A and B are shown apart, each in its own frame.
Chain A
Amino acid sequence: MDGLKVRDLHVSFDGFQAVDGVDLDVAPGDIRFLIGPNGAGKTTLVDAVTGLVKATGSVHFGDKELLGRPVHQIARMGVGRTFQTATVFEELTVLQNLDIAAGAARRPWTLLRRRKAIPAVVTDALETINLTTQRDQLAGTLAHGQKQWLEIGMLLVQDVPLLLLDEPVAGMSHDERDATGALLGVVSRDRTVVVIEHDMDFMRSFARTVTVLHAGKVLSEGSVAQVQADPRVQEVYLGQGTRDA
């Protein structure tokens, strides 16, 4: 298993520094939460790591440099991600969604043929995300929470060692959130995980380490307790976050 090493990362939008010199070390097997107020640069950081926006500095996953590569190559090097709003292929069935996620390494010849049998990883994932009965239903007809689970299922079959999750429980009911937490527990076994999240309860029950971003810079880093005790963090969250945190 590999860790993620970010050095002096800068992203600017028309002169505005969205990420301004971030250093970040995520150890292999860690579950790291990225928190911070809106506009702190959390999503932009993830965008930069996954190749969606241009950045300067360096991002190493294991011993491989990620910066400067196209998105699909970074994905093939073992980096998976989700988005704030669940993006599944709405006009394909649950099964087809998972099958596509499992198949990035397929040879062209395999692609041109029909699916004869359901791959074992897909069957397993269907059970894990509890969508076996919805297998042949179009993903667009799923409930919001189910879509989120399907997306996690896609990460499962994609079988990447590094996961970047952008607000996986945003907008979920309490029950859905618990179920998602359990799912993420399964997914994060033997993987390195980075989670962007606003939900402080969720963070406390799930995070191993936390990094606080503010105005594009790292403000604080450590265990949940260390970060909560940090006066600078309390200052940033004053008014909105302290009651939560």
Chain B
Amino acid sequence: MTSTVERPVSAPPAASRRRFVSKAPLRAGAGLAAAAVLLFAVAPVALSDFRLSLLAKYLCFAMVAVGIGLAWGRGGLLTLGQGVFFGLGGYAMAMHMKLADAGPGQMPDFMLLYGQLDALPWWWAPFRSPYFALPATVLLPMLVAFLLGSLVFRRRVRGAYFAILSQALAAALAIFLIGQQGTTGGTNGLTDFQGFFGYDLDDPVNQRMVYFIVAGSLLALLLIARQLIKSRYGELLVAVRDSEERVRFLGYNPANVKLVAYVVAAGMAGLAGALFVPAVGIINPALIGIVPSIEFVIGVAVGGRATLLGPVIGAVAVAWARTTLSEEFPAAWTYLQGLLFVLVVAFLPGGLASVYRLLKERRHGRA
């Protein structure tokens, strides 16, 4: 009876099997090049400053999606708590920027405003140094993922159990942050940043610079993910997803294989959170709890979980649709979002990335 729950994302029926491996990596080389041209040559010319900064925000979500694609699409680890790592990266960056805004020896403005504290809490202090804060945006999420992952994977907590635990962590962190109003800004989070390493964030030129940093980081993450997917490790990860026990009987410890994917995905989400803060200007508990965490997964599912570029396209498309629709028709957007989730996951598990192939197969079928 445990079988239904323990099995990793189970093998789809034979007809749809090809979508998960296919020749995607070959095409992805061309896809990556096209993405680079779009991000660096087309978008900055074609889009207004306002649109470009919106795109920067979407690309941050896309960075999270790249990690989820690796962990979930390739490794079968349905992580419903990426908001935790996004948030850790975001808060680490935001704390540094708050301290930098305040100036040497000063406390951040919101702490003075709430007036609950006489001195800077000890755990804020190290974030004053950029040499600590910057690495921390990536390493802190990776450390948390490492701790949780090594505990649960070693004990073979997997499948739905893992999904629920990762989601519970997101809920716990969001509630915790809301409760610590005096030191974390509570529900409001951290916002009102003036500068980003000395550059004035109100200056459109600097906002463009932030965009280019985000776009460059996304490309770098895609290259890392591509290398991992095409390496022997990537094959092993798929093997663990499909039959963890079999891998174990070949002399590998699947816990370590999963841990690598989970930790890398956490680092990617951390970097995304860190860049989200200068790009959008805020980080708060509403951006990292259960709902945003599961929304990260929607984008990946819509785009195509097991491909390299699918998650990126899906994340950007869903975020764009949300901005466009939710302002004018908030109710309709929620219905659409729910429906999208139901239809894509239930009836098109390969996501948009599989549409082209399905169409081609259908044409072949007719011919």
| Interfacial residues, chain A to chain B (CB-CB below 8 A) | 50, 52, 70-72, 75-76, 80-81, 83, 87-93, 96-97, 99-101, 103-106, 110-115, 138, 140-141, 154, 158
Contacts and interface: CB of A to CB of B under 8 A. Distances in A.
Contacts of A93: 21
Interface string B1-30: 000000000010010011011000000000
Contacts of B249: 50, 71-72, 75, 80-81
A100 B231 contact: no
A104 B250 contact: yes
Contacts of A104: 250-252
B251 A92 contact: no
B290 interface: no
A167 B256 CA distance: 31
12 contacts: A89-B239, A89-B243, A90-B242, A91-B11, A92-B235, A100-B235, A103-B236, A104-B250, A104-B252, A112-B233, A158-B250, A158-B251
A112 B228 contact: yes
Contact of B251 (A72, A87, A141): A72
A108 to B, nearest CB: 8
A100 B253 contact: no
B319 to A, nearest CB: 30
Nearest to A81: B249
Interface in B7-64: 11, 14, 17-18, 20-21
Contact of B18 (A71, A81, A87, A138): A138
B248 A72 contact: yes
Interface in B124-144: none
B251 A76 contact: yes
A234 to B, nearest CB: 35
Contacts of A158: 250-251
B247 interface: yes
Nearest to B17: A140
Contact of B252 (A72, A99, A154): A72
B17 A100 contact: no
Given A92-B21, A112-B233, A100 B239 contact: yes
Nearest to A106: B232
What class of interface size applies to chain B in its complex with A? 20 to 34
Contacts, number: 92
Contact of A111 (B230, B233, B238, B246): B233
A24 B220 CA distance: 57
Contacts of B324: none
Given A52-B245, A91-B21, A112-B233, 10 more contacts: A71-B245, A75-B248, A89-B238, A89-B246, A100-B235, A103-B232, A103-B236, A114-B231, A114-B232, A158-B250
A141 to B, nearest CB: 7
Contact of B242 (A83, A89, A99, A154): A89
A104 B247 CA distance: 9
B175 to A, nearest CB: 36
A92 B239 contact: yes
A99 B251 contact: no
B21 A154 contact: no
Contact of B250 (A70, A83, A100, A140): A100
A99 B21 CA distance: 16
A114 B21 CA distance: 16
B188 interface: no
Nearest to B253: A72
A96 B242 CA distance: 13
A96 B251 contact: no
Given A104-B251, A110-B232, A158-B251, A87 B227 contact: no
Contacts of B248: 70-72, 75
A62 to B, nearest CB: 17
B81 to A, nearest CB: 26
Contacts of A88: 246
A87 B21 contact: no
**Among B11, B228, B246, residue most surrounded by chain A Cβ atoms (within 10 Å):** B246
Interface in B149-181: none
